[in-house]
Structure 1
Amino acid sequence: MKYDDYLVHYGVLGMKWGVRKSRKKSSGSGSAEAIRSRVKKLQKSRKAKVVKKKREKAASKKSREANKPARKMTDAELSKAIKRLEMEQRYKTLKKSQMSVGKKLVFDILRDSGKQVGTQVATYAMGKAVNKAVGANVVNVGTTTKKKKVKVTS
């Protein structure tokens, strides 16, 4: 048998079995279709930029109006701002009252323990300051009270 009698092909490196490469339509860079698609993309992006600028301008105008001092507001603007603030405050109080029992318990525990830690830190700092100012160990700072052991006899 001679090697000239048949053709041997082992495939393309990196190709998967049964997968074909997608064939793109040959639209050259200068074709009318390609140019039209590029023009549409540019028009869309320009429109998006214009809309974005308009939105930003409106938002900045609203923020300027919202941050206007009370003496420069009209009566209608002032009453509108007051009404909004009152509504927000009422909403917060309603939300607070709807807190679950467990969440309320945890909140109370954390608040109370925070107060205790704050008090302890303030007491320690004041004791150190007093001792430093006097120059002597007047206040016992950082010492813990030890419980006396009681012997029980039966």
Structure 2
Amino acid sequence: MDELELRHYGIKGQKWGVRRFQNADGSLTAAGKQRVSEAKKRTDAKNRGTLTNAQLKKKIERLQLEKQLRELTNQEVNSGRVYAQKILKDVGSRVLTTAATGALLYAGKAAATKSFSPQEFANAIFNGGPKKK
């Protein structure tokens, strides 16, 4: 007589009693929500010929609203990023201009007086020129 066997290998890496798409309380995990959403999109695409005009209009309106929301939130993020980049660029150019001016002015002063002080040089770079006495 042949022995009947039931074999189940499961999903590699999955633990016993742990579900991939559902939490212990029955709610869906992030992967489960994404899976349901993708399945719904597939069924909507397949069944679009059976939708009434009102249902189709409602779905189109919803998709347009979601698209507008995505565009607005991306625009706000990008406008903030552009604003921050502009400020940093402006500040960077001012710092660079001040440091270069200070270094050149101190170099002229040091050449004229034939004396060099690292502390005065650092102050000149920081302040945009040597301190006047």
Q: Same fold (TM over 0.5)?
A: no
More helix by share: 2
* Higher RCO by CA contacts (8 Å cutoff, separation 6 or greater): 2
- Smaller-chain TM-score bracket: 0.3 to 0.5
TM-score of the superposed pair, with normalisation by structure 1:
0.32
Select the structure of larger CA radius of gyration. 1
TM-score of the superposed pair, with normalisation by structure 2:
0.36
